Amino acid sequence: MAIAVAAAGLSKTYRIYPSAAARLTELVLRARRHVPFPALTDVTFEQPRGHGLALVGENGAGKSTLLKLVAGVAQPTAGTLEVAGRVAAILELGAGFHPDFSGRQNIELNAALLGLERAEVEARLPEIVEWSELGDFIDRPVRQYSSGMAMRLGFAIATQVDPDVLIVDEALSVGDGYFQKKCMDKILAFVEQGKTLLFCSHAMYYVSALCERALWLREGRVEALGATDEVVRAYERHLLAKGAEREETPTALADSGEHDALGGKPARILAVHQASASGEHPAYRCGEPWQVEIDWESDAAELAFHVAVGINRAEDGLPIASFATHYSGLPGITGARHHHLRLEVPALPLAKGSFSLTVFLLDERGLHVHDQRLVPEAFAVVTPRFVPGLVEIEHGWHLG
């Protein structure tokens, strides 16, 4: 299998100076005035062509540094790095843009830097402009752009110049829901074409949906490399152990009937409630039926949706179970602007504990999250006797 990116013993150490004067003193007197900071240490991996590699890790783990090296923005201190083909990167928003140039001029500049000939740039310029959907702003200086507009411009350039390797570093955390979905669809189509994706995000749902393999960086070193689900599970266990999972959870809404009003959302959850129980925090017994109902609205009847529901232990966020309409083989839900859906579990297998619910409203591919709703301490399971486990499994005993 052809290798798109190969790194061997890759390291990057930055020099940290206490002041500009200290930097000048070191340059003139050749006397060390800096403190070395190892951002990456001995990173080795190979990424096959035609697949997605996710980079996961806490802030400061070295993910962005590694992507900058692959993109050619920075040079390694030690080790080797080989990248096959044309590379396009969406790093920090606005990176690579001249603030006083217009969006159109920055397209021409960046396309040329990516290796396109003048004729190619002119041929692709209308398509890039149209895809960015910046309107009259395309001829205004980039310094007048919002962060979302800068993301639109950067993503339009990176994806429309037909790269062999696409690098996306947390760029989709800004912008409206409509354009985020458009970008996710483009990324998915890019991978399906047999291209290579390096994707960095704290959103584990996107990581799992887009990438077959994952690389976990911890303090600049490779902590794990392998199948995405295995690496993500290990990384999430690490976060749980640190007690950091609640800090990493995106802002969600309690089950109060309210929803946020972020512009550009094509759909939003209206209500989540448990149909088979009453009270703010209902209690069940193991084996009792459990139901949850979800109501949502969309801006257009032709839009199609999937819904996912996750049950987590309330005390520590431990994932217990998940359900999704697309995993169950159901087609996308469409044909109306207001929707109502009920999830039924005929016999709750949980033995005891307090549990939270998270509901996700997804697009027609089950990839992009239009909206989500967190119901903390949604329900409890009680038992009249001591149960030394989390679930009760149907079983039988046979002697002899």
Q: Mention every residue, 6+ apart, whose C-beta is less than 8 A from residue 364.
A: 303, 304, 305, 306, 332, 334
Q: What is the pTM of this model?
A: 0.68
CA–CA gap between residue 188 and residue 194 (Å, rounded): 10
Report yes or no: 378 and 290 within 8 Å, Cβ to Cβ.
no
CA–CA gap between residue 63 and residue 201 (Å, rounded): 9
Mean pLDDT value across residues 299-319: 90
Residue whose C-alpha is closest to residue 310's, from 379, 359, 377, 250: 359
Residue whose C-alpha is closest to residue 269's, from 375, 374, 371, 378: 371
Residue whose C-alpha is closest to residue 39's, from 217, 285, 178, 223: 217
The pLDDT tens digits of the residues spanning 121-137 come to 888 889 889 988 888 99
Q: Which residue has the higher pLDDT, 293 or 204?
A: 293
Domains and CATH numbers, the chain: 3-247 (3.40.50.300), 267-382 (2.60.40.770)
Q: Is the pLDDT of residue 227 over 80?
A: yes
CA–CA gap between residue 208 and residue 214 (Å, rounded): 9
Report yes or no: 232 and 214 within 8 Å, Cβ to Cβ.
yes
Residue 259: the pLDDT is 38
Report yes or no: 229 and 208 within 8 Å, Cβ to Cβ.
yes
Residue 266: the pLDDT is 85
Mean pLDDT value across residues 56-67: 91
Mean pLDDT value across residues 296-307: 92
The pLDDT tens digits of the residues spanning 86-130 come to 888 887 655 678 889 999 998 888 888 777 788 888 888 898 899
- Average the pLDDT over each of 91-100, 177-186, 301-310, 380-389 and give the range with the smallest value: 91-100
Any bridge partners for residue 199, and if so which? 54, 168
CA–CA gap between residue 267 and residue 303 (Å, rounded): 9
The pLDDT tens digits of the residues spanning 241-254 come to 776 344 444 433 33
Mean pLDDT value across residues 386-390: 82
* Residue for token pair 């619910």: 357
Distance of CA 182 to the CA centre of its chain: 14
Q: Mention every residue, 6+ apart, whose C-beta is less than 8 A from residue 199.
A: 52, 53, 54, 55, 168, 187, 206, 207, 210, 211
Residue 86: the pLDDT is 87
Q: Which residue has the higher pLDDT, 346 or 238?
A: 346
Give residue 169's identity as a one-letter amino acid code. D
CA–CA gap between residue 153 and residue 133 (Å, rounded): 9
Share of the chain above pLDDT 70, in %: 90
Where is mean pLDDT largest: 35-49, 111-125, 159-173, 194-208? 35-49
Helix (H) or strand (E) run with residue 27 in it: helix 20-29
Any bridge partners for residue 293, and if so which? 273, 342
Which phi-psi region, left, alpha or beta, contains residue 40 (left: φ > 0; alpha: ψ -120 to 50)?
beta
* pLDDT interval class at 336 (50, 70, 90): very high
Residue whose C-alpha is closest to residue 366's, from 337, 342, 330, 312: 330
Residue 244: the pLDDT is 39
